[in-house]
């Protein structure tokens, strides 16, 4: 008969595992943002690059039902970064789990509030090669002879439409109301100016404001703020940056083919 883990063993397992360390590191980043009001200061304290810290924040925001971090007006340098109410709740929930582990396990067994916090932590631990990861709920499944069209509500009034095989719909257990992840590789995102008159075959058109541009030798990474704490990353050529006039504060739209959206579910 298998021996049950004690509360202490279970808590240490969470903290010592690779995924547990990753989740804890992201919680610590949130805490440092709350303390300093600055992404750059929090990144330095955490031993991260500014870019890595922002990527972690963007991922957490995209995988949360509500934004955890938001830009704040004012501050010593005319602006800063702060945790939302939800962000503070997630941090507080994690620390309560660490400090009062026996009560945490009892609450988990009883289906208490800590269950929601734990689900958020596991979401942050997911690793894929896709730069864009969104958590949402299926709004509709339109079944076809070979392929199905799946609409996923990712929050902030944003819907993504994906085309997958009918077999994949069945294998993933997708149905209206079920939870699923949408994965989109950054090179698959096409950027256009917000006022472009062109009509395309891309099923998804998401518009927002450029929050960050980082040029490389040939290509550039562009982060588009979609509002509601959601962001989208695209990889485009440096020449496209110049032609479209992309820079922080500029408006742009992202085009994504429905066939370029990969859907996934948690085990």
The chain-wide mean pLDDT, for the chain, equals: 83
Cα–chain-centroid distance for residue 86? 15
Question: Is 2.40.50.100 the CATH classification of the domain at 135-182+260-264?
Answer: yes
Which pLDDT tens digit goes with each residue over 44-56? Answer: 999 999 999 999 9
Tell me how far apart the alpha carbons of residues 25 and 19 are, in angstroms, rounded to a whole number.
Answer: 10
Tell me how far apart the alpha carbons of residues 119 and 125 are, in angstroms, rounded to a whole number.
Answer: 10
In CATH, the architecture of 186-257 is Beta Barrel (2.40)
| Model confidence pTM above 0.95 | no
8 Å CB contact between 43 and 56: no
In CATH, the architecture of 7-125 is Orthogonal Bundle (1.10)
Domains 135-182+260-264 and 186-257 share a fold: yes
Which pLDDT tens digit goes with each residue over 209-252? Answer: 999 999 999 999 999 999 999 999 999 999 999 999 999 999 99
Q: In 10 A of CB 24, how many CB atoms? A: 16
Domain residue ranges of the chain, discontinuous segments joined by +: 7-125, 135-182+260-264, 186-257
């Amino acid at each position: 008969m298998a021996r049950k883990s004690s509360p202490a063993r279970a808590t240490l397992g969470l903290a010592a595992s690779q995924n547990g360390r990753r989740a804890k590191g992201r919680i610590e980043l949130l805490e440092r943002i709350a303390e300093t009001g600055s992404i750059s200061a929090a990144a330095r304290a955490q031993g991260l690059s500014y870019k890595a810290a922002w990527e972690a924040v963007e991922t957490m925001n995209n995988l949360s039902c509500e934004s955890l971090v938001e830009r704040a007006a004012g501050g010593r340098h005319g602006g800063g970064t702060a945790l939302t109410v939800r962000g503070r709740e997630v941090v507080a929930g994690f620390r309560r789990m660490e400090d009062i582990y026996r009560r945490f396990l009892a609450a988990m067994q009883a289906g208490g509030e800590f269950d929601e916090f734990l689900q958020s932590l596991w979401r942050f631990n997911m690793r894929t090669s896709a730069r864009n990861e969104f958590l949402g709920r299926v709004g509709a499944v339109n079944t076809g002879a070979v392929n199905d069209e799946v609409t996923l509500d990712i929050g902030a009034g944003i819907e993504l439409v994906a085309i997958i095989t009918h077999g994949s719909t069945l294998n993933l257990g997708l149905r209206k109301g079920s939870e699923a992840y949408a994965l989109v590789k950054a090179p698959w995102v096409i950027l256009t100016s917000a006022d472009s008159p062109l009509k395309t075959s891309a099923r998804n058109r998401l518009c927002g404001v450029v929050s960050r541009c980082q040029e490389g030798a040939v290509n550039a990474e562009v982060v588009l703020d979609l509002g509601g704490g959601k962001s989208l990353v695209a990889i485009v050529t440096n020449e496209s940056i110049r032609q479209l006039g992309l820079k922080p504060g500029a408006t742009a739209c992202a085009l994504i083919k429905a066939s370029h959206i990969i859907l996934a579910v948690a085990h």
